[in-house]
Amino acid sequence: MTTIREAVFGLLRRHGMTTVFGNPGSNELLFLKDFPSEFRYILGLHEGAVMAMADGYAQASGQSPLVSLHSAAGTGSSMGVLPNTVYAKSPVVVLSGQQVRDTVGQDVMVSSQEAALLPRPLSKWSTEPLGAGDVLRSLAQAIHIANLAPKGPTHVSVPYDDWEREAGENADFTVGRAVADATALADRHLDEITASLDAASHPVLVLGPEVDATHANDDAVRLAERLAAPVWVAPSPARCPFPTTHPLFQGVLPANVVGIAQLLSRHDAVLVVGAPVFRYHHQHPGRYLADGSRLIHISNDPSEVARAPFGDAYLAPIDDALARLAGNVQARDASPPPRSERAAGIDRANRMHPDTVFRAISDLAPEDAIHVVESTSTAESFWSNVAMRHQGSFYSAAAGGLGFGLPAAVGVQLAQPERRVVAEIGDGSANFGLVGLWTAARYRIPVTFVVLRNDTYGALVSFGRRLSATGLPGFELPDIDFVQLANGYGVAAESVCTEARLRESLTKAFAGDEPVLIEAHTYYE
């Protein structure tokens, strides 16, 4: 007889889901029993870190990992990070362990009373099958839903006495199914968008994370070059869709209405691809776009196209749309607009400006290094200083929820063992996912963690100024010793205060093949 557990492992194998991130409890042991040797289980010491590792892995590999969590408590602990997974459109499949089916009604220890409901607002789909006979099909459904556009996390709760039951005579049908997504922009829509772009005098591109997620970066470059159009990255980027070294690259749009409208004001056609229109953050109201400007939006997400407050939208796969538009629009000749330069920040005694840190990393890391960034007040400095040329070079918390960056870097490195991963993390942010260091040490995952230690929640200081909120309590973070913390989790670490020492430490870290943490003393002004 084939048990449900055996059939589910067959299903996971069929979908290449042989990496399982988890933190187990009693409800999960019969699922993990006789764990097949071709699968790997990556243990995280807190479910927030488990989820962030899985999210990073999913984004960097394009494959779904399975996340195994313990009942309500484990699922609940993961939920601080889940908003990022939703907004990153990351196809993570979560399996949470439920108590024995017949006992859940009695509310026995570690049962989850509303298991399907618990993560529902933070997942694309969540269920608890009504009987053991529907466990395999429900998990298959979770995998397919997670991977159909727009991708996103799904959740299934399974009572643990189900695993040893018989899978039934139809299991092979469920395991063997293939589900294909829609793949093409409609021809009529291609012609409409092409005509609008060809008729424009000054088109501009605004690119979002889905360009990188669908590996359409090279086609974005071709389209920009054909149109001779400057390229902006959509606000609060979670990925890097366009080479920052390209002459047409302009930078990242600010996350407010007036700032965007001003920067795009000289363009009569604004083509937004693979991003929401727009994910504003700072309240600065005004007209969305200058008069005479028209916005065209291409997204693979029905919710995104429906909720945008302006612009004409087309629902289409991003990679196909960009490839065909690049081949269709008329080529033009225009010299790239000049990029506004920022003056580099100046170091102080024993405190570096963040520019110094990012410049050193950019100079010394391999040219195809991957950056996983959660350093909130230094975004502008990062984008001005770090060169990124390839697909999959940048990941950041897609919903701004701290606790993603440090463990996500571990997952990204697992997914991309041939490339070096650098995690640039603020000293405040680092604490939300610090236990990820233990996983890096335990499995010898060679991430270079750079903690920018400015001893404060810098972003909140600047937000406070913006909102004229004076008399705020408790933003200082003195006396956190990241060298000792890293050593405690088994990661070698150094503290540096000057550019020369930082460069030495980075050179050593990139020459080695172990995880390393560098505590870089910086300042916030």
Task: Give residues in contact with ligand TPP (CB under 6 A).
Answer: 80, 375-378, 400-403, 426-429, 432, 454, 456-460, 524
Nearer to ligand TPP, 230 or 458 (CB): 458
Sign of the Cα torsion 402, 406, 411, 416 reads positive
Closest distance of CB 396 from ligand TPP, Å: 12
Nearer to ligand TPP, 147 or 456 (CB): 456
Helix (H, G, I), strand (E, B) or coil at 127: strand
- Tokens encoding 257: 């209405």
Is 400 considered catalytic here?
yes
Nearer to ligand TPP, 28 or 427 (CB): 427
Closest distance of CB 311 from ligand TPP, Å: 28
Sheet architecture: strand order including 448-453: 394-396, 370-374, 421-426, 448-453, 516-521, 492-496
Helix (H, G, I), strand (E, B) or coil at 485: helix
Task: Indicate which residue of 26, 131, 488, 512 is catalytic.
Answer: 26
Q: How far apart are CA 170 and CA 218, in angstroms?
A: 43
Task: Indicate which residue of 48, 274, 400, 411 is catalytic.
Answer: 400
Is 47 considered catalytic here?
yes
Closest distance of CB 404 from ligand TPP, Å: 9
Is 267 considered catalytic here?
no
- Tokens encoding 333: 């000749």
Closest distance of CB 222 from ligand TPP, Å: 36
**Residue whose pair of structure tokens reads 């959740």 in the numeric block:** 155
Task: Indicate which residue of 10, 28, 111, 311 is catalytic.
Answer: 28
Q: Closest residue to ligand TPP, Cβ-based?
A: 426
Nearer to ligand TPP, 147 or 429 (CB): 429
Nearer to ligand TPP, 143 or 486 (CB): 486
Closest distance of CB 460 from ligand TPP, Å: 5
Closest distance of CB 521 from ligand TPP, Å: 13
Q: Measure the N-to-C terminal CA separation of the chain; round to a whole number of Å.
A: 67
Nearer to ligand TPP, 125 or 432 (CB): 432
Neighbouring residues of 398: CB distance < 8 A, sequence distance ≥ 6: 83, 84, 85, 86, 87, 88, 89, 90, 209, 238, 404
CA distances from 289 to 111, 237, 254, 268, 281 (A): 52, 20, 14, 10, 17
Is 281 considered catalytic here?
yes
Is 74 considered catalytic here?
no
Q: How far apart are CA 449 and CA 312, in angstroms?
A: 42
- Tokens encoding 204: 């501009």
Task: Indicate which residue of 70, 353, 371, 521 is catalytic.
Answer: 70
Q: How far apart are CA 200 and CA 194, in angstroms?
A: 10
Catalytic residues: 25-26, 28, 47, 70, 281, 400
